[in-house]
Amino acid sequence: MAKFQIPKKEFEQYPPGLSEGIIYEIEDIGIHPTPFGDRHKIIMKIESLRHTIRQGDQAGDPMTIWTRYNLSGHKNSQLRPHREAILGRPLTEEEAHNFDSDELVGVRVFYVVIHQQGNDGKMYARIDSIGRLDDQTKGTMMDRSAPPQDTSQQSPGEPSPTTQRVPAGQGPNDPDALPF
Calculate what percentage of the chain has a pLDDT beyond 70: 79
Extract long-range pairs of 94-102: CB within 8 Å, 24+ residues apart.
97/73, 98/73, 99/71, 99/73, 101/26, 101/42
User: What is the extent of the structural domain holding 68?
Assistant: 17-132
The structure's pTM equals 0.72
162 found inside a domain: no
DSSP H or E segment with residue 166: none
- How far apart, in whole angstroms, are the C-alpha atoms of residue 107 and residue 85? 12
113 found inside a domain: yes
163 found inside a domain: no
Distance of alpha carbon 99 from its chain centroid, rounded? 15
pLDDT digits (tens, 9 = 90+) for 45-79: 999 999 998 888 888 899 999 999 999 999 999 99
127 found inside a domain: yes
148 found inside a domain: no
DSSP H or E segment with residue 81: helix 79-87
Q: Is the pLDDT of residue 171 over 70?
A: no
Which of 15-29, 52-66, 125-139, 146-160 has the weakest average pLDDT?
146-160
Q: What band does 14 get if pLDDT is binned at 50, 70 and 90?
A: very high
Q: What is the pLDDT of residue 93?
A: 93
Count of domains observed in the chain:
1
pLDDT digits (tens, 9 = 90+) for 145-157: 655 555 445 444 4
Distance of alpha carbon 125 from its chain centroid, rounded? 15
103 found inside a domain: yes
166 found inside a domain: no
11 found inside a domain: no
